[in-house]
Each structure stands twice: as structure tokens, then as C-alpha cells.
């Protein structure tokens, strides 16, 4: 009979109330189950024993068998240290403790065989080992512990309170003794057989106490596969259930708004990718299920026009639509871009942000509720309780990774029935991440740029090439083009960044003197109205050069700008560099992106710059970014809890993830409700998991 793993950790031998509190707060370990899922970060090979006369003067960790023959206290500047003489048949060394001396002194046995383990120092002609791991040789022989010793995650507080790696290992050992190492199997015989996986009990034993490296690899593979398999199962099931249970509004017709716009006002021919995505969206609208779609497309690929045309279908069917963006700049840009089109079609549109005046707000609220207002664009302000729609049919969220889960679910509740949802992002998401984080959404990708756009040429130049770069800028301005020069803005060093920006501005002013050249400058310390004034001058073509911090990363659309110079490019992340580069190349002329750096570059910076020079494909760049930064960073901090994986790593284990998703898909194809007797184990595990960990309550 296996023990209940939901037992609170306090009851495990060797834990007790104080240690339990620390394990809860520091590592989130509440139950036996949590402890068993605390997987080691790495392993130390303890197969080898050294003799004292074999030790070398490097700081590797070593293991020695010998005896303590004497103890003494040595005074030092603050307090004293405890020193033990330790010897084996080949020589002597010292063991040293700087804290906890009284307790250690009382527990040590002289002239008894010990196994010691730790890092060695060379001091005064002798080797010494500070705070060694000590174990009586006879206990060492008896323990479950294997030659590959696990090193568990820890925190400074745990170490300071004496909960060392050794303590965690011994508590883990008690857990295995108490459960007799028998754990409930969580995968079906069929999956175990076809995937050639070892059993759950063997996997857990060999992840914590590996007999050898081959068994450790098998244990890791089994546990990673299981973790990713259940995540994929949950996401795919969620999508299936969503489609069968959550009824969406059926937009039956494509009417006057859409057709008039398509025939008379479409500013350019749609690309094949845009047509394909519109078709996918129209299919969702007519399917009787609520649309839940993620639209990915690089900067400038024309997502907004697809979003607008989707909204027109909503309006044609008598519904209201809204578009929510993460910043005021972006909301205003969407509003300005759509206002002109709406006026031509006689559609009522408003914008609602934090800075909307109270009287205007009141008017917007009233017109929304009585249905006179058809389209609403805005920021988080759309989520306020006062904002009520008469019949919201479609909600579009731009750059959704900058909104938390709770914020999104508020938008769903604006209606008696949930509106269709279209989530847009210009940050290409690598496939692996999309499968894990948005596995329950249908994904559309716009993967071609509008006709007539030429790829942007990207080069990397060092600071000592600056004169040549300036000469090139002059030539471009002579051809009637405009130029961006962007400086980094990193909050902690704002003073330094401001100084860099101003120094840069002065040196550019010297090389590009008035009245021949006009320069705009935009940075975070300016008043909003001054910023707008400078931006507008550049947009109208009154200035040739825009010197700015990353304020312009999202937003400004100036088709005439053909050069983007990024100063201190090594201080930017890959996705930021890619977004900035997307500010040029919006017209039909050849555009350029020049990455300026000093000669001192780290490996990661070199990889980033090389990737930018070699590739203009946002998805390829995102893959490299994922490898360099890891998933948490890419999703933005709100999502950092998202990929709280216990053992798998979606970057390194990409192949296992794809395989696990495929297996989950095949299983659900044959048995969508997991009702076949052979899948009972999987259904039970899935229910347990959903009860204790709702793995991702994403788009719920």
C-alpha cells in the first residue's frame, strides 16, 4: 500500500515544525509530493576516494576516508575557529569550522573512521577543508546514497539555518524509506511500452539516488516526458472542451462595412498570408464556438489591417468591438490609424486611456451601453468596471504578453456570453514556447511582408568607424531620406544613459549643423506634449534626424525613414534590436540598420549581433533569443510563473516537448474523453494534477 503523498511535510522524520516552515517559505515544499518533486540541479561523482598525499592544489571537491586524532580551538580577530587534525595512512590535513563549534565539538568522535567530503584549501604548508560534509564510515556504507551525489536547489536562508544539502538528502532518504520507494504509476502501460520509459518508482529512485549515469539519463527522460506530456494534454483538452462547450456568437454575414472597405478603401493589395489569416478568422466566426486565436506577425507585416477587417465583420453582424493595447502611445497610434478609415465608412470610434477627461469618459460609457459607439480602442482603462458594452462581439488584444492573466479574464466578463478573442503579437514566439504557453490557442502567422518592401540591410560597425557611418547618413539625407539614432535606456543607470544621449546629440549636431540639417530629440524626461511635438516634426519630414531613447520602439510609422543607427547595440536584447530595426524599411526604398558597439564584447553580445546581421526572420531570431535568455524573460515578467517546470526545460528539451505533444494528440484522437480502460491511469493522473496544480489557467 503506497503512502499518501499529500501528507504535510511536518510529519516526515527529520523535518519537524521549524524546518517545515523554512521548507515551505523558501522552496514551496508543503507536502511529501512537493519534496519528491524537488529534483537535483546537478550531481557530484563520489565514486572516487583520495589519499591525503594525492591531493593537488586546486579547489576541486574531494572525498577521503580517515580519522580525527585531535581537536583544538584557535583564536582569531573575531571569535575563534575549531580545528581538527585529520589523518589517513598517507598523511595529515586539517578540518576547520568557523561557526557552530560547540555542537560540532560535542558530536565528533576521535579515532573513528569518517568519510569527509568538501573543497580543499592549501594553507601554511597543509591542506585544510572548511566545513566538511562528515559521515561515519559505517553509516556511509549503509546509506541509500549513491556514488552520484545529488545537489539540491537551496537558498542562503536555508544554509544559514543549517538546512544543508546533506540535510535535504537525508530527509529525502527518510521519505523513500517511509514509502518503501513505491510510487503510483502515472502513465499507461501502452505509453510506457511505446515510448520505452522506465516505471515511475524507478525514475524517482534514480533521479534522487542514481546507481549510475545511464540510469540517471533514463530517469530524467522519463520524468521530463511525463511533465511535458501532461501539460500538452491539458492544453489540447482545454482547446477541445473550449470548442465544444463555450459557444461563440455566430457572425453569419460579410456585409456592407467589410465589402465597401475591401472594394473602395483598402490602401494596398493584401498579401497571401493576410488573406489566409482572414480566412481562418472567418472560419472561427462561423463555427458556433468562441474564437481564441493568437495572431503572430513580424513588425510591419500588416496585422492591424487584418484586425480591422475582422472588426468590420463584427460590425456587419450588429456587434461592438474593442482593441486593447499595453501603452498609451500604441493605443493612440492604433486610434489615429483607424480613425481615418472609420470616418470614410461612417463608423463611430473612440479612444479610452488613463488620460481621457472625466466628461469624455462619461460620454463614452453612455454610448457604449446604449450601443451608439461601435469601436473602442484603449489601454488597461477598458478593464475598469464602469466600462460596459451593449454587445461586445470581438475583443482584440495587442502585444498580449504585457497583460497578466487576471486582466485578460476581466475583458471576457464584459458580456453575458464571451466575445471572440484575437490576441496579436509582433514579438515572434518560438515554436516550442508557443506550444507550451499558447497550446490551447489556435495560432495564425503572417509570414510575408507587404509587396514592394525590401529586406533591411543590417551591418555591425565599431565606434572607430563613426566618420564613415556619418558620411553614409549624409548621403542618405541628400537622397531625401530620414534617419533614426537610438540610445539605450536602462533604468538603473538613467543618469549615465541621459549623458550618453546628450553627448551623442551634441556630436551629431556638430557633424550635421543647422540650417542645412534639422534634428529632433525625444527622451523619457520630456513632457508628453514636447515629445509629441518633436515626433510630429519628424513624421512630417521637417527634421532629418531623430535622436531618441527606446521610446520609439513601439509606434512611429515613418515610411520615409531609411536608416536606423543603434548606439551601444550590445546593451539591447535581441527582440528589442529586432523591434527597433522594424521602424525602418516601411517604404519601398532600400533601408539600413547599423549596429554600433565598442570593441569590448562578451560572447552573448557577439552572438546577438551576428544573429541580427545574418537574419531578418523574427522567428529565427526568437529561437536564438530563447536559447540565450530562457523562457521566463521572453514572456515578460507577468508570465514568469508560467513555465514553472519541475524538471523539463523547454529550450534544452525541445525534442521531448514536440514528441510529448505529438503523443498527447495521438492519444486524444483515439480517445478524446480518455474513457478507454487502458487510459484510466492517465485520466486519474490528469484529474489529480488539475486538482492540485491548475497547470495554466491561461485564456480561461
The closest alpha carbon to 618, from 402, 431, 399, 460, belongs to 431
The closest alpha carbon to 651, from 634, 626, 669, belongs to 626
pLDDT at 3: 65
pLDDT at 26: 92
Domain residues for the domain of 105 are 48-146
320 within a domain of the structure (yes/no):
yes
pLDDT at 175: 94
pLDDT at 56: 83
- Dig out the grid coordinates for 91 from the structure: 598523511
User: What pLDDT band is residue 634 in, cutting at 50, 70 and 90?
Assistant: very low
411 within a domain of the structure (yes/no):
yes
Q: Tell me: do 347 and 413 sit in the same domain.
A: yes
130 within a domain of the structure (yes/no):
yes
Name the more confident of 621 and 362.
Answer: 362
Q: Tell me: do 415 and 268 sit in the same domain.
A: yes
Count of structural domains within the chain: 3
For residue 698, pLDDT over 50 is answered with no
688 within a domain of the structure (yes/no):
no
For residue 36, pLDDT over 90 is answered with yes
290 neighbors 415 (Cβ within 8 angstroms): no
516 within a domain of the structure (yes/no):
yes
User: What pLDDT band is residue 637 in, cutting at 50, 70 and 90?
Assistant: very low
Q: Tell me: do 388 and 498 sit in the same domain.
A: no
pLDDT at 644: 67
pLDDT at 497: 65
Query: Stretch 462-483: mean pLDDT, rounded?
Result: 94
363 within a domain of the structure (yes/no):
yes
Q: What is the pLDDT of residues 54-73, one digit of tens each?
A: 888 775 788 999 999 999 99
Q: Tell me: do 471 and 408 sit in the same domain.
A: no
Q: What is the pLDDT of residues 337-361, one digit of tens each?
A: 899 999 999 999 999 998 899 999 9
Average pLDDT, the chain: 86
How far is it, in rounded angstroms, from Cα 305 to Cα 257?
A: 14
Query: Stretch 468-496: mean pLDDT, rounded?
Result: 84
* Matching residue, cell 589519499: 51
DSSP letter for 265, please.
I
pTM over 0.75: no
657 within a domain of the structure (yes/no):
no
The enclosing domain of 368 has a CATH number of 3.40.50.300
pLDDT at 532: 80
The enclosing domain of 70 has a CATH number of 2.40.50.140
How far is it, in rounded angstroms, from Cα 21 to Cα 512?
A: 65
Q: Tell me: do 407 and 491 sit in the same domain.
A: no
Share of the chain above pLDDT 70, in %: 90
Q: Tell me: do 421 and 530 sit in the same domain.
A: no
Lowest-confidence region among 236-250, 333-347, 409-423, 545-559: 545-559
From 547, 580, 615, give the residue that closes a domain: 615
pLDDT at 636: 43
How far is it, in rounded angstroms, from Cα 346 to Cα 480?
A: 36
User: What pLDDT band is residue 183 in, cutting at 50, 70 and 90?
Assistant: very high
DSSP letters for 271-300: PHHHHHHHHHHHHHHTSSB--EEEEEE-TT
The phi and psi torsions of 379 (rounded to 5 degrees) equal -100, -155
Q: Tell me: do 545 and 595 sit in the same domain.
A: yes
On the 0-12 / 13-18 / 19+ scale of CB atoms within 10 A, 324 is buried
From 598, 615, 632, give the residue that closes a domain: 615
User: What pLDDT band is residue 418 in, cutting at 50, 70 and 90?
Assistant: confident
548 neighbors 531 (Cβ within 8 angstroms): no
For residue 420, pLDDT over 70 is answered with yes
DSSP letter for 661, please.
H
Q: Tell me: do 277 and 408 sit in the same domain.
A: yes
650 neighbors 437 (Cβ within 8 angstroms): no
For residue 623, pLDDT over 60 is answered with yes
pLDDT at 451: 75
68 within a domain of the structure (yes/no):
yes
Q: What is the pLDDT of residues 94-130, one digit of tens each?
A: 999 988 888 889 999 999 999 999 889 888 889 999 9
For residue 490, pLDDT over 60 is answered with no
pLDDT at 551: 59
User: What pLDDT band is residue 524 in, cutting at 50, 70 and 90?
Assistant: confident
From 115, 146, 177, give the residue that closes a domain: 146
Q: Tell me: do 468 and 611 sit in the same domain.
A: yes
For residue 495, pLDDT over 70 is answered with no
User: What pLDDT band is residue 622 in, cutting at 50, 70 and 90?
Assistant: confident
Instruction: Give the list of residues 6+ apart from residue 221 with CB closer than 8 angstroms, or none.
Output: 197, 656
Q: Tell me: do 490 and 421 sit in the same domain.
A: no
Q: Tell me: do 475 and 333 sit in the same domain.
A: no
Q: Tell me: do 517 and 570 sit in the same domain.
A: yes
pLDDT at 572: 87
DSSP letters for 181-203: T-----S-HHHHHHTT---HHHH
Amino acid at each position: 500500500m503506497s503512502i499518501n503523498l499529500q501528507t504535510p511535510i511536518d510529519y516526515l522524520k527529520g523535518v519537524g515544525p521549524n524546518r517545515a516552515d523554512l521548507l515551505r517559505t523558501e522552496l514551496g515544499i508543503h507536502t511529501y509530493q512537493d519534496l519528491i518533486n524537488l529534483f537535483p540541479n546537478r550531481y557530484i561523482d563520489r565514486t572516487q576516494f583520495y589519499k591525503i598525499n594525492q591531493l593537488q592544489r586546486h579547489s576541486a571537491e574531494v572525498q577521503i576516508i580517515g580519522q580525527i586524532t585531535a581537536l583544538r580551538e584557535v583564536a582569531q580577530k573575531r571569535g575563534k575557529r575549531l580545528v581538527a587534525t585529520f589523518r589517513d595512512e598517507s598523511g595529515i590535513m586539517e578540518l576547520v569550522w568557523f561557526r557552530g563549534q560547540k555542537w560540532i565539538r560535542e558530536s565528533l568522535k576521535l579515532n573513528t573512521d569518517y568519510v569527509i567530503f568538501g573543497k580543499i584549501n592549501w594553507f601554511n604548508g597543509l591542506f585544510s577543508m572548511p566545513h566538511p560534509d562528515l559521515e561515519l564510515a559505517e553509516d556511509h556504507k549503509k546509506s541509500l546514497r549513491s556514488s552520484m551525489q545529488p545537489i539540491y536547489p537551496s537558498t542562503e536562508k536555508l544554509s544559514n539555518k543549517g538546512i544543508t544539502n546533506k540535510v535535504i538528502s537525508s530527509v529525502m532518504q527518510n521519505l523513500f524509506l517511509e514509502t518503501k520507494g513505491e510510487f503510483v504509476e502515472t502513465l499507461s502501460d501502452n505509453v510506457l511500452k511505446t515510448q520505452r520509459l522506465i516505471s515511475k518508482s524507478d525514475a524517482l529512485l534514480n533521479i534522487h539516488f542514481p546507481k549510475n549515469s545511464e540510469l540517471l539519463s533514463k530517469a530524467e527522460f522519463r520524468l521530463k516526458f511525463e511533465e511535458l506530456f501532461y501539460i500538452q494534454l491539458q492544453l489540447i483538452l482545454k482547446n477541445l472542451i473550449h470548442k465544444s462547450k463555450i459557444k461563440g456568437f455566430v457572425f453569419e454575414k460579410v456585409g456592407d462595412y467589410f465589402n465597401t472597405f475591401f472594394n473602395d478603401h483598402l490602401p494596398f493589395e493584401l498579401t497571401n498570408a493576410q488573406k489566409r489569416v482572414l480566412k481562418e478568422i472567418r472560419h472561427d466566426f462561423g463555427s458556433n464556438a468562441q474564437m481564441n486565436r493568437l495572431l503572430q506577425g513580424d513588425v510591419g507585416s500588416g496585422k492591424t489591417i487584418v484586425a480591422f477587417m475582422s472588426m468590420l465583420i463584427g460590425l456587419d453582424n450588429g456587434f461592438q468591438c474593442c482593441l486593447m493595447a499595453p501603452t498609451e502611445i500604441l493605443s493612440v497610434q492604433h486610434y489615429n490609424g483607424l480613425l481615418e478609415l472609420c470616418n470614410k465608412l461612417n463608423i463611430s470610434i473612440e479612444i479610452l486611456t488613463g488620460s481621457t477627461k472625466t466628461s469624455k469618459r462619461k460620454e463614452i460609457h453612455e454610448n457604449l451601453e446604449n450601443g451608439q459607439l461601435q469601436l473602442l480602442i484603449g489601454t488597461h482603462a477598458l478593464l475598469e468596471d464602469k466600462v460596459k458594452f451593449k454587445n461586445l462581439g470581438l475583443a482584440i488584444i495587442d502585444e498580449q504578453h504585457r497583460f497578466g492573466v487576471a486582466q485578460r479574464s476581466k475583458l471576457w466578463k464584459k458580456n453575458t456570453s464571451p466575445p471572440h478573442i484575437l490576441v496579436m503579437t509582433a514579438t515572434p514566439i518560438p515554436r516550442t514556447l508557443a506550444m507550451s504557453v499558447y497550446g490551447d490557442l489556435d495560432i495564425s502567422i503572417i509570414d510575408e511582408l507587404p509587396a514592394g518592401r525590401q529586406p533591411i540591410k543590417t551591418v555591425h560597425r565599431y565606434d572607430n568607424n563613426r566618420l564613415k557611418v556619418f558620411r553614409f547618413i549624409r548621403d542618405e539625407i541628400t537622397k531625401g531620406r530620414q534617419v533614426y539614432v537610438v540610445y539605450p535606456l536602462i533604468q538603473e543607470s538613467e543618469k549615465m544613459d541621459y549623458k550618453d544621449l546628450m553627448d551623442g546629440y551634441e556630436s551629431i549636431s556638430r557633424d550635421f549643423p543647422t540650417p542645412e540639417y534639422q534634428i529632433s530629440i525625444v527622451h523619457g524626461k520630456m513632457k508628453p506634449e514636447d515629445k509629441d511635438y518633436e515626433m510630429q516634426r519628424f513624421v512630417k519630414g521637417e527634421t532629418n534626424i531623430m535622436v531618441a531613447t527606446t521610446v520609439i520602439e513601439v509606434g512611429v510609422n515613418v515610411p520615409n525613414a531609411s536608416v536606423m543607427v543603434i548606439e551601444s547595440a550590445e546593451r539591447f536584447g535581441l527582440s528589442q534590436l529586432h523591434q527597433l530595426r522594424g521602424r525602418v524599411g516601411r517604404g519601398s526604398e532600400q533601408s539600413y540598420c547599423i549596429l554600433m558597439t565598442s570593441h569590448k564584447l562578451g560572447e552573448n553580445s557577439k552572438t546577438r549581433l551576428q544573429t541580427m546581421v545574418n537574419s531578418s526572420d523574427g522567428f529565427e531570431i526568437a529561437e536564438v533569443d530563447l536559447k540565450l535568455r530562457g523562457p521566463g524573460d521572453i514572456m515578460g515578467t507577468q508570465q514568469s510563473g508560467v513555465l514553472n517546470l519541475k524538471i523539463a526545460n523547454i529550450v534544452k528539451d525541445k525534442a521531448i516537448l514536440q514528441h510529448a505533444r505529438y503523443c498527447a494528440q495521438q492519444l486524444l484522437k483515439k480517445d478524446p474523453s480518455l474513457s478507454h480502460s487502458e487510459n484510466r491511469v492517465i485520466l486519474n493522473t490528469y484529474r489529480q494534477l488539475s486538482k492540485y496544480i491548475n497547470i495554466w489557467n491561461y485564456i480561461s
